[in-house]
Protein backbone atom coordinates (compact mmCIF):
# COMPACT_ATOMS: atom_id res chain seq x y z
CA UNK A 1 0.00 0.00 0.00
CA UNK A 2 1.20 3.49 -0.83
CA UNK A 3 -0.87 5.74 1.43
CA UNK A 4 -2.03 3.58 4.31
CA UNK A 5 -0.80 0.98 6.74
CA UNK A 6 -2.95 -1.84 8.09
CA UNK A 7 -2.20 -3.99 11.12
CA UNK A 8 -4.34 -6.09 13.40
CA UNK A 9 -4.37 -6.03 17.17
CA UNK A 10 -6.59 -9.01 18.01
CA UNK A 11 -10.01 -8.26 16.53
CA UNK A 12 -9.14 -4.59 16.02
CA UNK A 13 -7.84 -3.30 12.69
CA UNK A 14 -5.40 -0.41 13.01
CA UNK A 15 -5.39 1.76 9.90
CA UNK A 16 -2.64 4.40 9.57
CA UNK A 17 -2.73 7.38 7.20
CA UNK A 18 0.79 7.15 5.83
CA UNK A 19 1.77 10.08 3.67
CA UNK A 20 3.56 12.06 6.37
CA UNK A 21 5.74 14.06 3.96
CA UNK A 22 2.51 15.69 2.70
CA UNK A 23 0.93 15.70 6.17
CA UNK A 24 -1.36 12.83 5.12
CA UNK A 25 -3.13 15.06 2.56
CA UNK A 26 -5.79 13.01 0.80
CA UNK A 27 -5.49 12.62 -2.97
CA UNK A 28 -7.83 10.68 -5.29
CA UNK A 29 -5.55 7.63 -5.18
CA UNK A 30 -5.45 7.89 -1.37
CA UNK A 31 -9.26 7.80 -1.18
CA UNK A 32 -9.37 4.71 -3.42
CA UNK A 33 -6.80 2.95 -1.24
CA UNK A 34 -8.84 3.82 1.85
CA UNK A 35 -11.89 2.31 0.16
CA UNK A 36 -9.98 -0.93 -0.48
CA UNK A 37 -8.71 -1.02 3.10
CA UNK A 38 -12.25 -0.64 4.45
CA UNK A 39 -13.29 -3.71 2.43
CA UNK A 40 -10.40 -5.71 3.87
CA UNK A 41 -11.03 -4.49 7.42
CA UNK A 42 -14.74 -5.33 7.28
CA UNK A 43 -13.93 -8.89 6.22
CA UNK A 44 -11.60 -9.53 9.15
CA UNK A 45 -12.04 -7.19 12.13
CA UNK A 46 -14.73 -6.46 14.71
CA UNK A 47 -13.71 -2.83 15.27
CA UNK A 48 -11.25 -0.43 13.68
CA UNK A 49 -8.99 2.46 14.64
CA UNK A 50 -7.70 5.13 12.27
CA UNK A 51 -4.67 7.29 13.06
CA UNK A 52 -2.04 9.36 11.27
CA UNK A 53 1.67 8.66 10.87
CA UNK A 54 4.04 11.60 11.23
CA UNK A 55 3.45 14.89 13.04
CA UNK A 56 -0.24 15.30 12.13
CA UNK A 57 -3.41 13.28 11.75
CA UNK A 58 -4.38 14.77 8.40
CA UNK A 59 -4.06 18.09 6.49
CA UNK A 60 -7.22 17.40 4.47
CA UNK A 61 -7.67 17.51 0.74
CA UNK A 62 -4.53 17.32 -1.42
CA UNK A 63 -4.63 20.92 -2.59
CA UNK A 64 -1.98 20.31 -5.29
CA UNK A 65 -4.31 17.87 -7.03
CA UNK A 66 -7.44 19.91 -6.51
CA UNK A 67 -6.30 22.96 -8.45
CA UNK A 68 -6.20 20.91 -11.66
CA UNK A 69 -9.87 19.81 -11.57
CA UNK A 70 -12.84 20.94 -13.67
CA UNK A 71 -16.06 21.82 -11.77
CA UNK A 72 -17.68 18.51 -12.70
CA UNK A 73 -14.62 16.50 -11.68
CA UNK A 74 -14.80 18.37 -8.38
CA UNK A 75 -18.40 17.23 -7.82
CA UNK A 76 -17.47 13.61 -8.56
CA UNK A 77 -14.46 13.87 -6.27
CA UNK A 78 -16.60 15.17 -3.42
CA UNK A 79 -19.24 12.48 -3.99
CA UNK A 80 -16.52 9.82 -3.88
CA UNK A 81 -15.35 11.11 -0.48
CA UNK A 82 -18.99 10.90 0.65
CA UNK A 83 -19.25 7.29 -0.54
CA UNK A 84 -16.05 6.16 1.13
CA UNK A 85 -16.64 8.01 4.42
CA UNK A 86 -20.22 6.65 4.48
CA UNK A 87 -18.71 3.15 4.41
CA UNK A 88 -16.96 4.11 7.67
CA UNK A 89 -19.92 5.82 9.32
CA UNK A 90 -22.56 3.33 8.23
CA UNK A 91 -20.66 0.15 7.59
CA UNK A 92 -20.34 -3.08 9.56
CA UNK A 93 -17.95 -1.97 12.28
CA UNK A 94 -17.44 0.69 14.91
CA UNK A 95 -14.53 3.00 14.02
CA UNK A 96 -12.41 4.96 16.48
CA UNK A 97 -10.03 7.80 15.55
CA UNK A 98 -6.79 8.66 17.33
CA UNK A 99 -6.12 12.33 16.62
CA UNK A 100 -2.94 14.36 17.02
CA UNK A 101 -1.50 17.48 15.41
CA UNK A 102 -3.52 18.96 12.55
CA UNK A 103 -7.04 17.62 12.12
CA UNK A 104 -7.84 20.02 9.36
CA UNK A 105 -10.35 20.40 6.52
CA UNK A 106 -10.88 16.96 5.02
CA UNK A 107 -8.98 15.51 7.98
CA UNK A 108 -11.75 16.75 10.26
CA UNK A 109 -14.30 15.41 7.78
CA UNK A 110 -12.68 11.97 7.97
CA UNK A 111 -12.54 12.18 11.77
CA UNK A 112 -16.23 13.21 11.82
CA UNK A 113 -17.23 10.04 9.97
CA UNK A 114 -15.95 7.70 12.70
CA UNK A 115 -17.95 6.82 15.79
CA UNK A 116 -15.63 7.83 18.64
CA UNK A 117 -12.77 10.34 18.55
CA UNK A 118 -9.80 10.38 20.95
CA UNK A 119 -7.64 13.50 20.70
CA UNK A 120 -4.28 14.00 22.33
CA UNK A 121 -3.23 17.42 23.64
CA UNK A 122 -1.24 18.22 20.48
CA UNK A 123 -4.38 18.04 18.32
CA UNK A 124 -5.83 21.15 16.72
CA UNK A 125 -8.93 21.42 14.60
CA UNK A 126 -9.71 23.83 11.78
CA UNK A 127 -11.75 24.28 8.63
CA UNK A 128 -9.58 26.63 6.53
CA UNK A 129 -11.64 26.21 3.36
CA UNK A 130 -12.74 29.87 3.41
CA UNK A 131 -9.10 30.94 3.27
CA UNK A 132 -8.46 28.58 0.35
CA UNK A 133 -11.47 29.80 -1.67
CA UNK A 134 -13.24 26.46 -1.46
CA UNK A 135 -15.97 24.79 0.63
CA UNK A 136 -16.09 21.61 2.65
CA UNK A 137 -16.71 18.62 0.35
CA UNK A 138 -16.09 15.51 2.43
CA UNK A 139 -19.25 15.59 4.50
CA UNK A 140 -18.44 18.27 7.11
CA UNK A 141 -21.56 20.33 6.48
CA UNK A 142 -23.56 17.30 7.62
CA UNK A 143 -21.33 15.34 10.01
CA UNK A 144 -19.08 17.97 11.59
CA UNK A 145 -21.99 20.41 11.86
CA UNK A 146 -24.02 17.81 13.76
CA UNK A 147 -21.11 17.22 16.15
CA UNK A 148 -20.27 20.83 17.00
CA UNK A 149 -23.38 22.72 15.87
CA UNK A 150 -23.81 24.98 12.82
CA UNK A 151 -22.91 28.16 14.71
CA UNK A 152 -19.48 26.88 15.79
CA UNK A 153 -18.76 25.44 12.38
CA UNK A 154 -19.71 28.75 10.75
CA UNK A 155 -17.28 30.51 13.09
CA UNK A 156 -14.47 28.02 12.26
CA UNK A 157 -15.08 28.44 8.52
CA UNK A 158 -15.42 32.22 8.52
CA UNK A 159 -12.46 32.95 10.77
CA UNK A 160 -10.19 30.06 9.75
CA UNK A 161 -9.17 29.77 13.40
CA UNK A 162 -7.97 26.56 15.04
CA UNK A 163 -9.32 25.15 18.29
CA UNK A 164 -7.42 22.93 20.69
CA UNK A 165 -8.29 19.48 21.97
CA UNK A 166 -10.05 20.68 25.14
CA UNK A 167 -12.26 23.03 23.12
CA UNK A 168 -12.95 20.24 20.64
CA UNK A 169 -14.04 18.04 23.53
CA UNK A 170 -16.31 20.78 24.90
CA UNK A 171 -17.80 21.23 21.44
CA UNK A 172 -18.54 17.52 20.96
CA UNK A 173 -15.90 16.97 18.28
CA UNK A 174 -13.63 14.86 20.50
CA UNK A 175 -15.03 12.30 22.94
CA UNK A 176 -11.78 11.93 24.92
CA UNK A 177 -8.70 14.09 25.48
CA UNK A 178 -5.49 12.31 26.53
CA UNK A 179 -1.85 13.27 27.00
CA UNK A 180 0.40 13.75 23.97
CA UNK A 181 1.22 10.47 22.26
CA UNK A 182 -1.47 8.46 24.05
CA UNK A 183 -4.40 8.72 21.64
CA UNK A 184 -3.65 5.58 19.65
CA UNK A 185 -3.33 3.35 22.71
CA UNK A 186 -6.55 4.76 24.16
CA UNK A 187 -8.43 4.36 20.86
CA UNK A 188 -7.26 0.72 20.58
CA UNK A 189 -8.33 0.04 24.16
CA UNK A 190 -11.81 1.44 23.44
CA UNK A 191 -12.08 -0.40 20.13
CA UNK A 192 -11.12 -3.69 21.81
CA UNK A 193 -13.93 -3.21 24.27
CA UNK A 194 -16.45 -2.35 21.53
CA UNK A 195 -15.34 -5.49 19.65
CA UNK A 196 -16.76 -7.58 22.51
CA UNK A 197 -20.28 -6.14 22.16
CA UNK A 198 -23.02 -8.15 20.51
CA UNK A 199 -22.62 -7.53 16.79
CA UNK A 200 -26.30 -6.75 16.35
CA UNK A 201 -26.23 -4.13 19.14
CA UNK A 202 -23.19 -2.46 17.61
CA UNK A 203 -24.87 -2.41 14.22
CA UNK A 204 -28.00 -0.86 15.74
CA UNK A 205 -25.94 1.73 17.62
CA UNK A 206 -24.00 2.94 14.60
CA UNK A 207 -26.87 2.76 12.11
CA UNK A 208 -29.95 3.64 14.14
CA UNK A 209 -28.68 6.46 16.35
CA UNK A 210 -27.68 8.87 13.54
CA UNK A 211 -30.86 8.09 11.63
CA UNK A 212 -33.10 8.57 14.67
CA UNK A 213 -31.22 11.79 15.37
CA UNK A 214 -32.39 13.02 11.97
CA UNK A 215 -36.05 12.08 12.67
CA UNK A 216 -38.83 13.82 14.54
CA UNK A 217 -39.32 12.63 18.15
CA UNK A 218 -42.40 10.48 17.53
CA UNK A 219 -40.85 8.74 14.53
CA UNK A 220 -37.64 8.21 16.46
CA UNK A 221 -39.41 6.63 19.43
CA UNK A 222 -41.41 4.37 17.13
CA UNK A 223 -38.30 3.14 15.30
CA UNK A 224 -36.48 2.71 18.62
CA UNK A 225 -39.13 0.24 19.86
CA UNK A 226 -38.68 -2.01 16.86
CA UNK A 227 -34.91 -2.00 17.09
CA UNK A 228 -35.09 -2.60 20.85
CA UNK A 229 -37.37 -5.59 20.36
CA UNK A 230 -35.37 -6.98 17.41
CA UNK A 231 -32.09 -6.90 19.32
CA UNK A 232 -33.50 -8.06 22.67
CA UNK A 233 -35.13 -11.15 21.16
CA UNK A 234 -31.97 -12.32 19.37
CA UNK A 235 -30.34 -15.58 20.60
CA UNK A 236 -27.22 -13.63 21.48
CA UNK A 237 -29.19 -11.28 23.73
CA UNK A 238 -30.78 -14.25 25.48
CA UNK A 239 -27.37 -15.81 26.13
CA UNK A 240 -25.89 -12.53 27.35
CA UNK A 241 -28.88 -11.68 29.58
CA UNK A 242 -28.78 -15.16 31.12
CA UNK A 243 -25.03 -14.82 31.67
CA UNK A 244 -25.64 -11.66 33.68
CA UNK A 245 -28.52 -13.18 35.67
CA UNK A 246 -26.38 -16.20 36.55
CA UNK A 247 -23.56 -13.84 37.63
CA UNK A 248 -21.24 -14.92 34.80
CA UNK A 249 -21.08 -11.51 33.09
CA UNK A 250 -19.30 -8.37 34.26
CA UNK A 251 -21.12 -5.61 36.11
CA UNK A 252 -21.19 -1.97 35.07
CA UNK A 253 -18.27 -0.25 36.79
CA UNK A 254 -18.29 2.96 38.81
CA UNK A 255 -15.79 5.44 37.23
CA UNK A 256 -14.88 6.65 40.74
CA UNK A 257 -13.84 3.16 41.80
Catalytic, 109? Answer: yes
Q: State the nearest-atom distance from the C-beta of 23 to ligand 1HE, in Å.
A: 4
Q: Among 51, 56, 143, 152, which residue sits at the site for ligand 1HE (rule: CB under 6 A)? A: 56
Residue 52 binds ligand 1HE, judged by CB under 6 A? no
Alpha helix stretches (DSSP H) within 58-149? 63-66, 71-89, 106-113, 129-132, 143-148
Catalytic residue among 109, 182, 199, 236: 109
Give the total of residues touching ligand 1HE (CB under 6 A). Answer: 24
Residue among 181, 184, 180, 97 nearest 144 (CA) = 97
- Tell me the Cα Rg of the chain: 19
Q: Residue 169 interacts with ligand 1HE (CB under 6 A)?
A: no
Please count the other Cβ atoms lying within 10 Å of the Cβ belonging to residue 33: 19
**Alpha carbon of 193 to those of 69, 113, 236: distances in Å?**
43, 20, 17
Pairwise CA distance, residues 129 & 2, whole Å: 26
> Do 47 and 88 meet the contact criterion of CB atoms below 8 Å apart?
no
Residue closer to ligand 1HE by CB (options 60, 91) is 60
Please give the residues from 132 up to 161 whose contact with ligand 1HE meets the rule CB under 6 A. 132, 134, 136-138
Under rule CB under 6 A, residue 22 binds ligand 1HE: yes
Q: From the CB of 77, what's the least distance to ligand 1HE, in Å?
A: 7
Subset of residues 100 to 119 that bind ligand 1HE, contact rule: CB under 6 A: 102, 104-106
Q: Which residues are catalytic?
A: 109, 129
Amino acid sequence: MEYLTLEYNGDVAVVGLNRPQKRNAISDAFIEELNDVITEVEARAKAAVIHGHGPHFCAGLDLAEHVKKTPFEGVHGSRRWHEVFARIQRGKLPWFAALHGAVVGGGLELASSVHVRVADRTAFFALPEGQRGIFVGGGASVRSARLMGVSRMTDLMLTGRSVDADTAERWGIANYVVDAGEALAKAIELAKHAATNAEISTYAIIHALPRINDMGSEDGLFVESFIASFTATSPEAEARLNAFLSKKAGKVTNPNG
